[in-house]
Amino acid sequence: MQVIQLSDPHVDHRFPQKAAAFARAVAHVNTMPVLPDAVLITGDCVEHGRPDEYDLFGELLSALRVPAFIVPGNHDHRETLLQRYPPPTPNLPGFMQYAVEDFPLRLIGLDTHRPGQAGGALDRARLDWLEAQLREAPERPTLLFMHHPPLHTGLTVMDGMDLRGREALCDLLLEHPQVLRVVAGHLHMSVTAGFAHTTVMTCPGTDATLNPDLNQPAQLVVQRQPPTCLLHHWAPETGLNTFTQVIAPAPWHALFDGSAWHDFDRPNGAPGS
């Protein structure tokens, strides 16, 4: 099973490059040699939570050839997302928090949104729902996806917009070894850290990437790098592996076709030595 994670499109009519970057990300997924089973979008779909921004985001997302599962970020409007993208069941009423049961790898989306706040939260109600879901399927390999990651970066600004309730989440996950990965967005950079018994990973935004300059933790430095996505692959024989892919406007080439090597630096992918 393969799942692509995209994050933080921040679609905004004032800055068409953000929509263009998200469109490239959708095209990247659609042209993969093997289509993934699903796409996870870990929040901040739009910049201001306005209906016209969601119209544009929805238009871009409609080109996607595989199912997409969304959780809200701090820039999103939860009620609009619930109306436009009703979550599957089981879900937590009033929240964009739900389980996806259709695949060998169980996907659970957590709603960390705090209306009007940049930081996120997992309160008792959201954690109790998660605990009930995990207790129902203790043998199923599970991936949790959310917007705010349960970690500190050492960067003052980002740590001021962190996740409340991460200690309680850590305690909960220590009782549930079937959770193989916690993935998030929000930070606009790639971070990997240990958490409870498992690993937390963040996916950079499709538009801009932050530079983690820990020698100047009070500053934030941003750069328009080539966008990236995460590919989460699960199989019984390998478990869950995560790969980073650059979203680039370039064709895919078969380097090895199962029987022969091909030199992709040669015209037309001629066989290599």
User: Which tens digit of pLDDT belongs to each residue from 48-67?
Assistant: 999 999 999 999 999 999 99
For the ranges 52-56, 155-159, 230-234, 260-264, which has the lowest average pLDDT? 260-264
Would you tell me how many other CB atoms lie within 10 Å of the CB of residue 1?
Answer: 16
Query: For residues 233 and 4, is the Cβ–Cβ distance under 8 A?
Result: no
Q: Verify cis geometry, omega within 30 degrees of 0, for the bond prior to 90.
A: yes
**Domain range holding 115?**
2-269
CA gap 146, 126 in Å, rounded? 12
* CA–CA gap between residue 192 and residue 200 (Å, rounded): 6
Q: How confident is the model at residue 191 (pLDDT cuts 50, 70, 90)?
A: very high
Give residue 268's pLDDT: 54
Residue 44 · residue 79 · CB < 8 Å: no
What is the DSSP pairing of strand 198-202 with strand 191-195? Answer: antiparallel
Query: What's the number of domains the chain is made of?
Result: 1
Q: How many Å apart are CA 243 and CA 202, to the nearest integer?
A: 12
pLDDT digits (tens, 9 = 90+) for 195-231: 999 999 999 999 877 777 778 888 877 777 778 899 9
d(CA 228, CA 206): 6
Distance from chain centroid for Cα 184: 5
User: Over the stretch 65-101, which tens digit does the pLDDT of each residue have?
Assistant: 999 999 999 999 999 999 999 999 999 999 999 999 9
Which tokens in the block code for residue 139? 């043998």
Predicted local confidence at residue 273, as pLDDT: 45
Q: Locate the DSSP E strands across the chain.
A: 2-6, 38-42, 68-71, 98-100, 106-109, 120-121, 142-145, 163-164, 179-184, 191-195, 198-202, 209-211, 221-223, 228-235, 239-246
Within 13 Å and on the Cβ side, how many CA atoms surround 251? 7
Per-residue pLDDT at 263: 79
Could you tell me where the beta strands, DSSP code E, fall in 58-148?
Answer: 68-71, 98-100, 106-109, 120-121, 142-145
Q: Which two tokens stand for residue 99?
A: 């389980």
Mean residue pLDDT of the chain comes to 92
**Closest by alpha carbon to 41, among 195, 185, 190, 187?**
185
Q: What is the CATH number of the domain that holds 175?
A: 3.60.21.10
205-218 core/surface letters (b: 16 or more CB in 10 A; e: else): bbbbbbebeeeeee
